[in-house]
Each structure stands twice: as C-alpha cells, then as structure tokens.
Structure 1
Amino acid sequence: MQKILSLYARNYDTDRLVRDEVVPGAEWVLTGEGQATRKWDGTSCLVQSGRLYRRYDAKKGRTPPADFEPAQEPDPLTGHHPGWVPVGEGPDDAHHCEAWAAADRALPDGTYELIGPKVQGNPEGTISHQLIRHGEAVLDDAPRDFAALRAYLEARPEMEGLVWHHPDGRMVKLKRKDFFSSRRR
C-alpha cells in the first residue's frame, strides 16, 4: 500500500496541525469526487492470492527481508520504503494469524486494517483481532470543507479519520489528530 496523500497542509514549523490549505493533488476531494470512508486505527495488511501479508517499512539503511514486496519506490527524502512481507508463524505475526483464522481465510484480494487488543493500544476497543477491508465503511454524511470536517471529526472521537477513494484508485486521508493536539480518547 502506497503512502496516502493528506488532504490539508500541515504546520510543520509550529503545532504540526493542519491548516485550511489543500495539498496539491488532493483538490478532487473538495470538488465532490470520490467516496469518503472510515479510516481505522491499526496496521495495514494485504491479502493476495489467498495469502496474508503484513506491512513492512524498509527504512533508510535497513535491509528488507528476502521475501519483501515493495509497494512503491523508496521516498528520496525520508528513505521510507513501504511494502509487504508474508505473515508466518513467528511471534511478530501472532495477531495477524489470529485475525486471519477468525476470517476463515476466505477474504478477497485487497488491503485490510488489522485491529485488536494488541494493535496500537487498541484504540478501536475491540475484544479480538480482526481484519477490516479498506474502503468498506462508507461515510455518506462526511462533509468536504475544512471547518465542517473539523467539526465532523470532533463529534466522532471513536474514529481515527477519513479516507476518500477516487474511482481511478487515488486516495486522500484526513486524521482526527490532524486537527487536535491530543489523541482521540
């Protein structure tokens, strides 16, 4: 899964929050294109040809494992190189395996979010590990302007944010914490 473009520019020199300035390439969201969906707070996974993969970032200077599948070229500025590695039986994969078994391994190809009690501190509040397909939790009521989006996310502390999916495959994200200095809960 490639890095997803943010909707608004960030104040990197001050509070690191977003300002009412659209990032170039994300304008289509404000013109009403694409579908808003819920952004889940976990870790991304890939199902491909009946196999589960977990996200792996081959950061600058880090040699990826032999079975690493890049999702994009390395970022020339940060050195981040996101990609996928197959889920195995090791301790790093235990939660992935639990969710995969619960899904009965019958998931269609695509990207998913692993959420659960041992993932990111369980901000989603789930009692078991599970895989949620990206883009399935459609939010038809999501607004598309800065002030309304801020109010929308402020009123929904249970949500990490939004991801807009364009029919041509482009995506744009906006996280709740982009507006507020503290975490969701």
Structure 2
Amino acid sequence: MSEPRGRGRPRKDPEKLARWTPPEGWSRLVAWVSPEEKKALKHVAVDAEVSVAELVRSLASGLAAGVIDADELLGHVRRGVQVMEKIPTLFERDDRFGVVDRPRAECAWVLAGEGAPTEKLDGTNVRLTVRAGQLVRTEKRRNPSKAQKQRGIVDGWYTDTDERAAEDKWILAAVRNTDVSGWPDGEHPCEALGPRIQGNPLALDDHLCVPFNLDVPVYRDVPRDYDGLREYLAALESRYAPGHLAEGIVFHHPDGRRAKIKRKDFRRSA
C-alpha cells in the first residue's frame, strides 16, 4: 500500500482566495498565441516579476491613461503582423489593420487574372511525405523570427513533429485521422484542421489533414477587385464545410507565388 501524498507546496498567502473576483464592469480578454509568442510573453513577465495577465493588463492600463503612446505601439504591432504573415495579403492595410483599395505590388498578378483561387482553410500548415501509400514523415511549418528576417532569412521551412511535444498533439491527431493510402508518392503540403486547432471555425467533428494539391476546393468566377471581393467574401460559403462561411481565398500562381484575402480583412464600416 502506497503512503499518502503530502499536501504539496503551501501558498505564499494562505488567507488569499484561489479565485479572484474582478471589479464590476470588467471583462475578460482571451487570445490564441503560438508557443513562441507565449514564451516571449512569459520571458518579459518574469523579468517584470508579474504574471502574463498582469503584463497584458498593464499595457491596456497604460494606453487608457495615456502613458503609452498609441502611435508608437501601432508601429510595433504592424511590424508584428508582417512577421506573422506567411502569405502576403492582396491589399495594403490602414492604421486600423483593415485592407484598403490599394493592391500590394507583389500581388499585382492576381488583379491581372493570373492564378487559381482556392478556399483558405484556417488551421496549421504541415507537410506529409508519402511512399507507396504509407506516411513516412510528418513536418510542421516554421517561419523566420523578426531577428532572422533582419538577417535576411525570409522564407519559412519545415521541421519534424515530435510525438512527445505537447504543441504537436493535435497536429498528430489530424495526421492519424487522414487516409493517405491513395495519395501519390511525394511531399504534400497540408492544412491540419479540427476541434482543437485554431478555434475550429468550420465546426469539424474530427481532426484531419487536407492536402492543398489534392483536396482544397477551387472557386470559379472570383472577382479580382477590392469592391467585388468584399461583397463576394461576405457571403461565400465554405465548400469544404457547407453551412459555414469560408474564411477567405488563397490565389495560387503556377510559379508558386501565393496571395490571400480574408473576409475579416474588410472592415464592416468600409
């Protein structure tokens, strides 16, 4: 018979309640962040000797009190958005991060009518290597950090997943639910989707991987101008999950270039 476990580490303040009741009128803010972003927040919070929640609230408090300059902060946020973007957005953004009727120079080919428009699936980018109908390798995409981009590393890469890594759990669940027996030999870039990935906007019941080169739906007669795309995306139904709105469109050029536009890129007041 095993001995009973001890009580564990005592609280610093035994009189302090485990649950905190916010003041009247306060609201809770929730955001999804990547493992790298979470580590960065924790690093700053540890240096400041506060929790991550207190760090975020201090930022909001500083903005509300005018201690933090909003224009300076927006500059950092814009640079952060640029680092996060793996595929360029078709149009330029304004100070409120909505798109404006000014195409990005590197995406001019879309307005020229080039490239195939496919449904943008909101998940995690992975790459599956198949041989003789068998999965032989699973990789996830990594993108260069801001510091790496400053050193000239601009293209992302794939790295192997790890069965023991918590951050790979749901990617691997999607892989296990994906039948690759009919896939041709080769490396297949996919989007891992499902209930525990990116908030599951398509309300899928199971995790799975969708190969871009085999299964992603292609749309016909998609507008190639700002006003047309805004109206088109407002009511565009997902062909992968009928009954739900598609997140957006990704245009694929034959030479490998891509450009994206999402429904939420357009401000409602625009």
- Give the TM-score band, short-chain normalised: 0.7 to 0.9
Relative distance call for 1:83 and 1:126 in structure 2 (3 A) is same
- Structure with max Cα Rg: 2
Separation in 2, partners of 1:96, 1:163 = 22
Secondary structure of 1:131's counterpart equals strand
Answer yes or no: is 1:21 the counterpart of 2:102. Answer: yes
The answer as to whether partners of 1:4 and 1:172 remain within 8 angstroms in 2 is yes
Trace 1:139-158 onto structure 2 (pairs within 5 A).
Answer: 139-156=219-236, 158=245
The answer as to whether partners of 2:120 and 2:247 remain within 8 angstroms in 1 is yes
Identity %: 35
Query: CA shift at 1:54, angstroms?
Result: 1.3
2:188 match: 110
Answer yes or no: is 1:53 the counterpart of 2:139. Answer: yes
Total equivalences in the alignment: 166
Query: CA shift at 1:58, angstroms?
Result: 5.2
Query: CA shift at 1:55, angstroms?
Result: 2.3
Separation in 1, partners of 2:114, 2:156 = 27
Query: Structure 2, unaligned stretches of length 5 or more?
Result: 1-84, 131-135, 237-243
1:166 match: 253
The answer as to whether partners of 2:176 and 2:208 remain within 8 angstroms in 1 is no
Query: CA shift at 1:104, angstroms?
Result: 3.4
Query: Structure 1, unaligned stretches of length 5 or more?
Result: 62-73
Trace 1:68-79 onto structure 2 (pairs within 5 A).
Answer: 74-76=148-150
Structure with the higher helix share, 1 or 2: 2
Cα RMSD for the two superposed structures: 2.5
The answer as to whether partners of 1:60 and 1:80 remain within 8 angstroms in 2 is no
Separation in 1, partners of 2:199, 2:170 = 13
User: 89, 95, 102: which one pairs with 1:6?
Assistant: 89
Separation in 1, partners of 2:161, 2:180 = 12
170-179 vs 43-52, which deviates more? 43-52
Separation in 2, partners of 1:60, 1:17 = 22
Query: CA shift at 1:138, angstroms?
Result: 0.4
Separation in 2, partners of 1:109, 1:81 = 18
Query: CA shift at 1:25, angstroms?
Result: 1.5
Output one character per residue of 1:11-35: Cα deviation in whole Å (capped at 9) or x when no partner: 1x2x210011110121111111110
What amino acid maps onto 1:87 in structure 2?
A: T
Secondary structure of 1:48's counterpart equals strand
The answer as to whether partners of 1:38 and 1:163 remain within 8 angstroms in 2 is yes
TM-score by length of 1: 0.79
Secondary structure of 1:121's counterpart equals coil
TM-score by length of 2: 0.56
What amino acid maps onto 1:158 in structure 2?
A: L
